[in-house]
């Protein structure tokens, strides 16, 4: 995890501090890892393994390139080795993931641990903070987590951490509706069995997978915590390997048992398919306008706000953009992830409400940047389709503020849909407070937008009180 450095360190924006084997430096848009001399040989030995090379080639493990002393002069005095990692375009954290992404991160952790075992290496920690996502694909980034293991060591000391940070949070979501934000926003080390034990009734405690993950550890917790841990080597390397393989199979089985159900639904699931006000012709007109806007603007990086199930996020990705799709509903964000993953499209879906964006958290609020810190200056286009009226009414954010934020988030284009108060959906959510919004008109919206943007094109959707606009940021025109 990263934290901001003192200003006395020239060029260094932030550094990590939790791993004694090395630190991560973020400087001038680069991600560098300084490795302690005592850990260097082991680190380079792991990178030389076939398992590491295969994982890097497949994009499952971040690349690590050793830099020369001339390239690193002045960064970390006294450090013997600095490696540069490939930068993941948009970092995200477990408290922003839908449960589907947490399960994918857990599966990658087990996959890499299994391949490392065959090379004589183990995994000393197992936490979602070892993982970032490149689009819908998880990437293991904490390369120092791999360590050489003793051949007769049959213990995976990170197993309890894997349970706390992957299996129990997923079980809490599946059985009790707890979101990843509920689990990770206020704590970094997941859940304890005792917490789920309190939530479960008597019979639920006795049914799998809660019996093995929650109830038995809870019943045995008192005895286990009173004992000092002593490693017990296996009789032979082959026996140790067999025990660890068995543990891995058990973890994989447990992970599948707590993974989110693929048919999870919410009030916003299937909205454009059968819940929206759009007729087939109106939806086709909207989609055609979006396609034309994307082709005209040609954005490389897109932020889709209020993405729902990702219809337009996927459309942007199909046209070559790297998309970050945000919505406050974990169920629809999970649907986006499954679709992007299955279609191999560059869409990173996150559970983020832009009216209450993810704050900076961790030590001194500097380990995990806020969503707005990460988003600032990152996107060529921001899309806000059929979401503006929800932000206006539900959160009572002034239109001027919403358009000002959009202008801060985009480097160039804004593709936005304005829904007038006469629209049936606006009427549905306003709930008798029409007088508060009677002043909102297409003309007023365009006037406020003109303070930040120039109009490129627009389309009034026939039969609805809605209009689509493609704007370009005034400071981007020159």
If asked whether residues 294 and 426 sit together in one domain, one would say: yes
For residue 30, give the nearest of 81, 70, 68, 72 by alpha carbon. Answer: 72
pLDDT per residue over 63-77, tens digit each? 999 988 777 776 655
Between residues 465 and 231, which one has the greater pLDDT?
Answer: 465
Which secondary-structure segment (H or E) carries 146? strand 146-148
Task: Report d(CA 370, CA 392) in Å as an integer.
Answer: 22
If asked whether residues 193 and 321 sit together in one domain, one would say: no
Statement: residue 353 has pLDDT above 70: yes
CA distances for 369 relative to 135, 327, 349, 375, angstroms: 19, 19, 17, 10
If asked whether residues 305 and 454 sit together in one domain, one would say: yes
If asked whether residues 102 and 243 sit together in one domain, one would say: yes
Binning pLDDT at 50, 70 and 90, where does residue 6 land?
very low
- Helix (H, G, I), strand (E, B), or coil: what is residue 463? coil
Between residues 331 and 71, which one has the greater pLDDT?
Answer: 331
Angle between helices 99-117 and 237-258 (to 10 degrees): 170
| Cβ atoms 263, 376 nearer than 8 A | no
Answer yes or no: is 178 within a domain: yes
CA distances for 195 relative to 174, 183, 259, angstroms: 15, 11, 19
- As a whole-number percent, the residues of the chain with pLDDT over 90 amount to 69
If asked whether residues 231 and 105 sit together in one domain, one would say: yes
Q: Find the CATH number of the domain harbouring 419.
A: 3.40.50.150
Answer yes or no: is 87 within a domain: no
Alpha helix stretches (DSSP H) within 319-459: 330-343, 371-375, 388-394, 399-409, 424-430, 442-449
For residue 200, give the nearest of 186, 189, 211 by alpha carbon. Answer: 211
Task: Report d(CA 151, CA 395) in Å as an integer.
Answer: 58
Question: What pLDDT, on a 0 to 100 scale, did the predictor assign at position 259?
Answer: 94
Answer yes or no: is 89 within a domain: no
If asked whether residues 310 and 244 sit together in one domain, one would say: no
Answer yes or no: is 78 within a domain: no
Answer yes or no: is 84 within a domain: no
Cβ neighbours around 159 below 10 Å, total: 17
Residue 169 domain boundaries: 94-258
Mean predicted confidence (pLDDT) in 161-167: 96
Task: Report d(CA 478, CA 473) in Å as an integer.
Answer: 10
Pairing of strands 146-148, 137-140: unpaired
Task: Report d(CA 396, CA 386) in Å as an integer.
Answer: 16
Statement: residue 9 has pLDDT above 80: no
Answer yes or no: is 398 within a domain: yes
If asked whether residues 460 and 374 sit together in one domain, one would say: yes
If asked whether residues 254 and 284 sit together in one domain, one would say: no
If asked whether residues 327 and 409 sit together in one domain, one would say: yes
pLDDT per residue over 264-304, tens digit each? 765 545 555 545 677 888 889 999 999 999 999 999 999 99
pLDDT per residue over 402-415, tens digit each? 999 999 999 999 99
Statement: residue 312 has pLDDT above 80: yes
Answer yes or no: is 81 within a domain: no
Cα dihedral 72/76/79/82 (nearest 10): -40
Looking at the structure of the chain, the number of domains it has is 3
If asked whether residues 275 and 249 sit together in one domain, one would say: no
If asked whether residues 230 and 306 sit together in one domain, one would say: no
């Amino acid at each position: 995890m990263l934290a901001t450095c003192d200003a006395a360190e020239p060029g260094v924006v932030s550094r990590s501090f939790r791993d004694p084997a090395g630190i991560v430096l973020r400087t001038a848009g680069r991600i560098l890892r300084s490795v302690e001399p005592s850990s260097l040989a082991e680190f380079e030995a792991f990178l030389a393994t076939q398992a590491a090379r295969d994982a890097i080639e497949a994009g499952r493990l971040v690349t690590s390139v050793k830099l020369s002393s001339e390239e690193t002069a002045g960064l970390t005095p006294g450090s013997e080795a600095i490696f540069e990692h490939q930068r993941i375009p948009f970092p995200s954290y477990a408290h922003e993931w839908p449960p589907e992404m947490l399960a994918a991160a857990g599966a990658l952790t087990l996959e890499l641990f299994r391949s490392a075992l065959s090379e004589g290496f183990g995994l000393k920690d197992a936490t979602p903070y070892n993982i970032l996502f490149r689009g819908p694909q998880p990437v293991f980034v904490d390369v120092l987590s791999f360590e050489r293991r003793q051949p007769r060591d049959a213990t995976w000391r990170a197993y309890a951490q894997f349970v706390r940070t992957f299996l129990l949070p997923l079980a809490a979501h599946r059985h009790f509706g707890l979101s990843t934000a509920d689990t990770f926003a206020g704590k970094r080390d997941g859940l304890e069995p005792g917490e789920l034990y309190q939530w479960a009734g008597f019979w639920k405690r006795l049914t799998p997978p809660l019996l093995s993950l929650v109830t038995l550890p809870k019943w045995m917790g008192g005895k286990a915590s009173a004992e000092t841990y002593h490693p017990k080597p296996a009789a032979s390397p082959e026996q140790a390997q067999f025990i660890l393989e068995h543990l891995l199979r058990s973890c994989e089985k447990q992970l599948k048992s707590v993974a989110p159900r693929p048919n999870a639904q919410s009030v916003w699931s299937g909205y454009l398919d059968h819940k929206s006000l759009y007729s087939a012709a109106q939806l086709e007109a909207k989609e055609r306008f979006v396609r034309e806007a994307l082709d005209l603007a040609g954005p490389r990086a897109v932020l889709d706000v209020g993405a729902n199930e990702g219809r337009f996020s996927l459309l942007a990705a199909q046209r070559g953009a790297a998309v970050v799709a945000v919505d406050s509903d974990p169920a629809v964000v999970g649907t986006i992830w499954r679709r992007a993953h299955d279609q191999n499209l560059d869409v990173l879906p996150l559970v983020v409400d832009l009216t209450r964006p993810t704050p900076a958290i961790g030590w001194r609020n500097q380990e995990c940047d806020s969503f707005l810190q990460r988003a600032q200056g990152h996107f060529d286009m921001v899309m806000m389709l059929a979401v503006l009226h929800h932000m206006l009414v539900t959160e009572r954010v002034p239109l001027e503020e919403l358009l000002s934020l959009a202008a801060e988030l985009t480097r160039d284009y804004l593709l936005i849909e304005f829904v007038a108060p006469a629209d049936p959906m606006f009427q549905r959510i306003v709930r008798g407070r029409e007088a508060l919004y009677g002043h909102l008109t297409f003309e007023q919206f365009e006037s406020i937008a003109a303070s930040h943007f120039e109009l490129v094109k627009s389309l009034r959707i026939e039969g609805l009180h809605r209009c689509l606009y493609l704007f370009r940021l005034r400071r981007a025109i020159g």
